[in-house]
Structure 1
């Protein structure tokens, strides 16, 4: 019998474009526990090559899985929530398991593939 309190963490990472730095290195860890209603995340954003050097920001909280978006009824999205429960960032998960960053209206940010996080094989 499986231990129902057991959680595993999935890690995604990518380098996203940045208007005033060399790029934003994203590391997103998502708790994968089917027996918990609220699952946690840890988001690390490192702004590389800013005028003040590399700057790292770490946030954590809970996330929700959303099935169906306004413009894509078959979609599965991950919504990171802030401390007040409001959406902070959203990602569309594709069939290969990659996460694509969504804008505030939950549309894929163009050009597609530029704002993508890949699953890190453990």
Structure 2
């Protein structure tokens, strides 16, 4: 008699656990929809801007430059860049690839709403690179000097935003 009672008790316990598990699955579906919504929102924040152009070079035909800016989720830690430069007219052509973090600074010369990208902001100042754009023309990125000013030259020190 005790064995039968024990078997009934164990089987009722097992079956009761199974019914709860199906309830959990029922409630998991809306959570999954919510998670996919969060993921979609996060991806929209992870924009990439690609600027291209040929910058002047003193001893070559020009420096083919591609700068990719990964804006991330808006936090400083998520700001990343990739810079590819190819020195044209050299034999062999020298190609350099650089990755790192960037920071943003507001104000470019007389434009308080302009933006400056400080590439390698977490490294010593001599390893930092500066690019910036005016608020009215964000598709034209200027290569800046160490004082974070546009190069005063008749040569073209700009990169152009490429539309995807």
Could you state the TM-score of these two structures normalised by the residue count of structure 2?
0.65
Aligned residues: 120
Distance 1:76 1:53, change over 3 A: same
**Is this contact kept in 2: 1:100–1:113, CA < 8 A?**
no
Larger radius of gyration: 2
**Is this contact kept in 2: 1:5–1:35, CA < 8 A?**
no
3-state SS of paired residue (1:29)? strand
Greater strand proportion: 1
Greater helix proportion: 2
1:101 corresponds to 2:140: no
Select the residue among 132, 135, 145 that pairs with 1:92: 132
Partner of 1:80: 119
Distance 1:84 1:49, change over 3 A: same
Could you state the TM-score of these two structures normalised by the residue count of structure 1?
0.84
1:16 corresponds to 2:55: yes
Cα distance in structure 2, aligned partners of 1:107 and 1:27: 20
Of structures 1 and 2, the one scoring higher in RCO (CA 8 A, sep 6+) is: 1
Cα distance in structure 2, aligned partners of 1:33 and 1:10: 11
Unaligned runs of 5+ in 1: none
Distance 1:21 1:55, change over 3 A: same
Partner of 1:42: 82
Q: CA RMSD in A?
A: 2.2
Deviation at 1:9, TM superposition (A): 1.6
Unaligned runs of 5+ in 2: 1-36
Distance 1:15 1:5, change over 3 A: same
Deviation at 1:67, TM superposition (A): 0.8
Deviation at 1:36, TM superposition (A): 3.1
